[in-house]
Amino acid sequence: MEFLIQKIASCCSTQQLNLFEAYLAAKNQLLSQKLIHHIKNKPHQNIDFYCKAVYGTSGKETLKKFNQLNHHTLNYFSFISQHFPSFLTQNSSEIEWLIYHEKHDEAIEKLKLLVEVAKKFEDYGLLVHLFEITQQNKLLSTTIGKQLNLESNKENLTLFSDLRILLQKQDELTSTTLIEEQKGINPKDLAFFKSHFNSTSLSIQLIARQSYLNILSSYNDKSFYDKNTLELIEYTKKLAEKHAYLMIAHHREKLMSLDYMLVKHTRLTLGEKEINKTCSSIINKWQKFYHANNQLDSGLMLALSIKGSFFITDYYCKPLNDKLKQEVKEIINLFEELSNKLDWEKVSYLKYINFYNVYAMFLILDNQGEKSIKLIEKVLHEYQQKTFKKMYDGLFVVLLMAHFQAKSFDEVVENYSRYKKLTKNFVSMEENDLVIKAIYYIAQLKIAPKNQYEKKLTNVLQTLKRNPHLNNNLLLVERMMGKTT
């Protein structure tokens, strides 16, 4: 076999390649699809054959285009890495079968190919397993010695272990329970992840950087909003996209968090056009290609969450034009459809809460405040025994907005007390907490004007004015103040 894509495809099953073809077609990557189709049907041809099959000719310029197509197609193998992370490991049984039947030449050829692809995809667990196989056969250990030896195996074991420790440590430090119990970040934890930034392994570099950023984001640390943090997010995101095929692609939620963190960092400075472009890009990048359609698509939900947050901030207490009204209604219809068809037993309770929280935002914009209130109350009731303090501000800002929209000011006051009791001054997103306070003070002034609430509302306004990034939230509060006059 002469080129990398041909070798990678030979490690996939026919069923996996059939699915990959369909995925490429769905992504409108027709030349890549054509290449995979011909490799699948005639796997042992030379480059000229595949070049002619794709482009019709095999001249010098065409070969140049063909090499570019190979490089382009490589990143789309992230689909295989995501959904079939053992697609390379499944080949080890074939090697063992060949060894058993003493077909050593075939075993060596297959082993060399598999080692090459495993190194490219940084599948360290497989490389360690292949080394163990070669040690059981002297001919194999001698022949493959340059690619797999004691020194390289020691390195692969270390990299495999380091990667697992990084992932495990990130999960521990970003668990909902720990975040709510811990007042801040331990600098030693950040230093641990930082020490892996320059690893020889791209996978470890990426997970170390993503872990570092995710901790800053999860604890809403002030340094998350620093300029150098934004630069690190952008660098890590580009690095992940450049090497999307790596086996760590199956840690999809972690890599997706880079897109979320970029939006979180820049969301307060983006306009409607930029938000729409960002949401479309996220959906295109992360939308899953499902066998069934009853699973919650994380990419779609991320985009809808971003859009919902932007819309509720910019359009609450403001008349919508016909185009926006139609878009909001279409999104509500989508939520209604998803709500009925999704298999919620396969969805974590935190994703379930977020789904209905975002759904409720769009209902408010469609003047369906009563339904919005019922959804939020349903979530709060169903999961009252669970811990999700980090999400309370997002839920209660929507709940208070819905009651305020209905001019149920007593309900605003009552639910503000619930919010304070549940959060115990734990603030996840500063702008949410400020808006919640503002709604409460405005509602109190509507019920019975008192000087103390005037002063407190003025303090909230001053806090919002001091941060130029919170200007849209300031405008939101000012619109609500106009509603009460």
Same domain, 202 and 316: no
Alpha-carbon span 152 to 124, nearest angstrom: 10
Q: Which helix (H) or strand (E) holds 220?
A: none
3-state secondary structure of 413: helix
Same domain, 46 and 61: yes
Q: Is residue 464 part of a domain?
A: yes
Burial of 53 (0-12, 13-18, 19+ CB in 10 A): middle
Same domain, 302 and 447: yes
Same domain, 17 and 77: yes
Q: Is residue 261 part of a domain?
A: no
Q: Is residue 263 part of a domain?
A: no
User: Which one of 130, 154, 178 terminates a domain?
Assistant: 154
Same domain, 111 and 53: yes
Determine the residue type at 285: K
- Structure confidence by residue, pLDDT tens digits, 80-120: 999 999 999 999 999 999 999 999 999 999 999 999 999 99
Taking a C-beta distance cutoff of 8 angstroms, is the pair 156, 280 a contact? no
3-state secondary structure of 80: helix
What is the reported pLDDT for 241?
A: 94
With a cut of 70, which residues of the chain have pLDDT below it? 177, 179-183, 268, 287-295, 483-485
Alpha-carbon span 283 to 292, nearest angstrom: 18
What is the reported pLDDT for 294?
A: 63
Q: Is residue 190 part of a domain?
A: yes
Same domain, 230 and 290: no
- Helix %, strand %, coil % for the chain, to 5? 80, 0, 20
What is the reported pLDDT for 212?
A: 97
Alpha-carbon span 117 to 353, nearest angstrom: 41
User: Which one of 93, 121, 154 terminates a domain?
Assistant: 154
Written as six digits, the tokens of 158 are: 């270390």
Q: Is residue 258 part of a domain?
A: no
Alpha-carbon span 412 to 441, nearest angstrom: 10
Length of the chain: 485
Same domain, 400 and 441: yes
What is the reported pLDDT for 40?
A: 96
Q: Is residue 103 part of a domain?
A: yes
Q: Is residue 407 part of a domain?
A: yes
Burial of 383 (0-12, 13-18, 19+ CB in 10 A): middle
Same domain, 136 and 199: no
Same domain, 358 and 464: yes
The DSSP code for 443 is: H
What is the reported pLDDT for 62?
A: 92
Domain that holds residue 64: 4-154
CATH number at residue 411: 1.25.40
Same domain, 351 and 398: yes
Task: Give one word for 103, left, alpha or beta, with left for phi > 0 and alpha for psi -120 to 50.
Answer: beta
What is the reported pLDDT for 484?
A: 43
Same domain, 230 and 282: no
Measured CA to CA in angstroms, residue 285 lies from 54, 75, 76, 97, 278 at distances of 25, 12, 11, 39, 10
Same domain, 163 and 149: no
What is the reported pLDDT for 288?
A: 63
Written as six digits, the tokens of 117 are: 């692809």
What is the reported pLDDT for 485?
A: 40
Burial of 481 (0-12, 13-18, 19+ CB in 10 A): middle
Question: Structural domain tally of the chain?
Answer: 3
User: Which one of 154, 182, 201 terminates a domain?
Assistant: 154
Q: Is residue 418 part of a domain?
A: yes
